[in-house]
């Protein structure tokens, strides 16, 4: 089966693309156009995987391009988005253009071409600070940042196309995914790289919020399970993907320090702290729906699973050829 993956060069997208190739899919991978011809993380995949990927460069904001890119495909995994929360405070309009209008382009092209199934990527950030835990898919949506508001808009567009045009779209809502290749816009690689390179002094933001961290392999497995599912009831649905385990940022830092063998100390930086009412204080996933509708369960569940996932991630970052790809001397917005 031939599928299109948007955002294929990103963190989750590259892992998804790699796994789809290993499973025998014919993959057309959309990377954001740049003059260097870089396909981001796709350039770092093993040669025997990369040579099987049809990489194309473009922009999801260009509907005519998206229609051409989607031709000949039976399915679409839509991951392309602006994801940096701090930058959404700086340029919120770009998040509307990319995340909302870009998603509408994907849906419109899929509708016109008769795509068999679309997997649309959401985020747990749309829930805002938990009003109840664990968080089910029925939890109210709260746009506490321009980023989360734009993703709410994208999710609602996916739901609208499913409802209005019977478009076969499923919205997958991963909680805080982490693992090899993640950028320093995320807290776990920020902590790992600083501890590996420094003396234990961390430049960090808020440590009180809690998160439900999921290893990237579990997120990828959930996406593929939804795509391969023959359960008609999942069409038009939103499905959480999370480990069903909650831990504070501070406790996560202690676990990373323990695994690496360094005692972390904190230096709080104002630029790394969100506006008070914009900070999401608590995220804790209820993954019952994914288990019941997809037969999916996380391989890295609970504290034990989180510790194993951290160890895997730290091992990858500890290799010099990987660590040298990251700069820890400045804050990445």
Catalytic residue list? 147
**Terminus-to-terminus CA distance in the chain, angstroms?**
38
Q: Dihedral (C-alpha) 62, 64, 70, 76: value to the nearest 10 degrees? A: 40
Per-residue tokens: 297: 């369960």
Contact in structure between 150 and 97 (CB atoms under 8 Å)? no
Q: How many CB atoms lie within 10 A of CB 164?
A: 9
Per-residue tokens: 120: 């649309």
| CB neighbour class for 234 (10 Å; exposed up to 12, middle 13-18, buried from 19) | buried
Count of alpha carbons within 13 Å of 114, Cβ hemisphere only? 1
Q: Peptide bond before 148: cis, by omega within 30 degrees of 0? A: no
Residue by residue, DSSP assigns 11-54 as HHHHHHHHHHHHTT-EEEEEEE--TT---GGGGGS-HHHHTTEE
Contact in structure between 241 and 218 (CB atoms under 8 Å)? yes
Contact in structure between 301 and 244 (CB atoms under 8 Å)? yes
> What is the C-alpha to C-alpha distance for residues 68 and 58, in angstroms, rounded to an integer?
11
> What is the C-alpha to C-alpha distance for residues 69 and 4, in angstroms, rounded to an integer?
8
């Amino acid at each position: 089966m031939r599928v299109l993956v948007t955002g294929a060069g990103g963190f989750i997208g590259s892992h998804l693309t790699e796994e789809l190739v290993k499973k025998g899919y014919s993959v057309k991978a959309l990377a954001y156009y740049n003059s260097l011809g870089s396909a981001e993380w796709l350039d770092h995949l093993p040669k025997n995987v990369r040579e099987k990927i049809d990489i194309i460069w473009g922009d999801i904001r260009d509907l005519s391009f998206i229609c051409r890119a989607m031709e000949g495909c039976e399915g679409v995994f839509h991951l392309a988005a602006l994801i940096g929360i701090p930058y959404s405070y700086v340029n919120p309009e770009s998040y509307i253009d990319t995340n909302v209008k870009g998603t509408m382009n994907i849906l419109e092209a899929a509708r016109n071409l008769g795509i068999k199934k679309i997997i649309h990527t959401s985020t747990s950030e749309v829930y805002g600070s938990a009003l109840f835990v664990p968080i089910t898919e029925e939890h109210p949506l709260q746009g506490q940042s321009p980023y989360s508001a734009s993703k709410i808009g994208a999710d609602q567009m996916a739901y609208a196309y499913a409802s209005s045009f019977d478009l076969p779209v499923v919205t997958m809502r991963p909680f805080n995914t982490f693992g090899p290749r993640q950028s320093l816009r995320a807290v776990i690689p920020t902590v790992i790289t600083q501890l590996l390179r420094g003396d234990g002094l961390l430049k960090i933001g808020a440590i009180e919020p809690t998160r439900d961290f999921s290893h990237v392999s579990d997120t990828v497995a959930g996406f593929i399970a939804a795509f391969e599912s023959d359960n008609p009831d999942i069409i038009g649905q939103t499905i959480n993907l999370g480990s069903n385990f909650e831990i504070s940022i501070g406790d996560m830092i202690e676990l990373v320090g323990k695994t690496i063998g360094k005692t972390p100390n904190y230096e709080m930086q104002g630029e790394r702290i969100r506006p008070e009412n914009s900070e999401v204080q608590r995220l804790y996933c209820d993954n019952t729906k994914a288990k019941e509708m997809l037969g999916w369960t996380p391989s890295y569940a609970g504290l034990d699973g989180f510790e194993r996932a951290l160890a895997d991630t730290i091992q990858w970052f500890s290799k010099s050829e990987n660590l040298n790809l990251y700069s820890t001397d400045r804050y990445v917005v």
